[in-house]
Structure 1
Amino acid sequence: MALRKIRTYEDEILRKKSKVVEKFDQRLCQLLDDMKDTMYEANGIGLAAPQVGVLKRAVVIDIGEGAIELVNPEIEQVEGSAVDVEGCLSVPNVWGEVERPQKVVVKAQDRFGNEFRLEAEGLLARAVCHEIDHLDGILFVDKVIRFVSEEEIEQRRSRGDKMDLE
């Protein structure tokens, strides 16, 4: 298990556009494994490569249904919209309401370069969009409609609400 340092909002790498992954090799596999370990250790539900200082188009997500790895993800379709609370491991202790698509279809590759499509809705769609934004240098705070207090977050947690608090 190798943990990587999570970059925070003041790090300029988070504002840069990530490069397409072209080499599907052991280094990519190690990056994805490290990202998953780092995400789980930080109690997140998603992590993008720029958040660990790597400008590659790779993300990992686990909303509690098992890890999903997306390499070179592209959103092909969106449907509906929903506003919900998000947070981010790179912007600690800040939460806000963000509008995202309710459903998305994403084209991506796995760690071996095999192309696949993922249909996601609800929290998974939100997490996918949030992580893909990271690949384009966009942070959730750029899209916040309303910032949410820590007290409100605690109330939602006590009710058992699922939120993208990454």
Structure 2
Amino acid sequence: MNGFFKNIPNMLTLLRLVAVPVFAGFLNSGRTFEAAAVFLGAEFTDVLDGFIARRYNLITTFGKVADPFADKLMQLTALFLLAKKQLIYSVIPWFVLVKDLLLIIAGLYVIKNKKKVDVSSKWFGKLTSVLLFVSIMLIFMEAPRILTDALFLICVAMALLSGIMYARSYFRQLRMLSSDSPQ
């Protein structure tokens, strides 16, 4: 595969990063349909770049870092703007942000200490992201507030659960590494 095609997953990730301010601009100016279209397109490129990278073994260090960053940036931008518009409880984006920051700190600790710990996303994190996506899209579709409130509360519970599961996984791996290393 030539060099151009090898960069397609990374180009899709960059496109997602560029989409964040476009999405925010549309949502801030009350152009909800356009904002929803950009948000949906960004989620589609996320699925597409992951599929292409795995299917054709085009996984890069840049992609491992930029892909989840782009996803979180789009999610958090949507959550903070929806909270600003009082379409979701204002605590929700802060809760998700704190959970993500704690996971980033744990990941940086692992990298700094050169530990061989798997910090890739797991099914429970992916499921939480999918539910967040669905919940955000339902707001754009003007679903009843009681439904979106219930879904976002489930998202918060799942984010908390996934944060705990990630932490348990990290600590279990770190314990195994320290027990395997010579004293």
Fold match by TM threshold 0.5: no
User: TM-score of the superposition, structure 1-length normalised?
Assistant: 0.31
Structure number, greater radius of gyration: 2
Kindly indicate which of the two structures has a greater share of residues assigned to helix.
2
Asked which structure has the greater RCO (Cα within 8 Å, sep 6+), the reply is 1
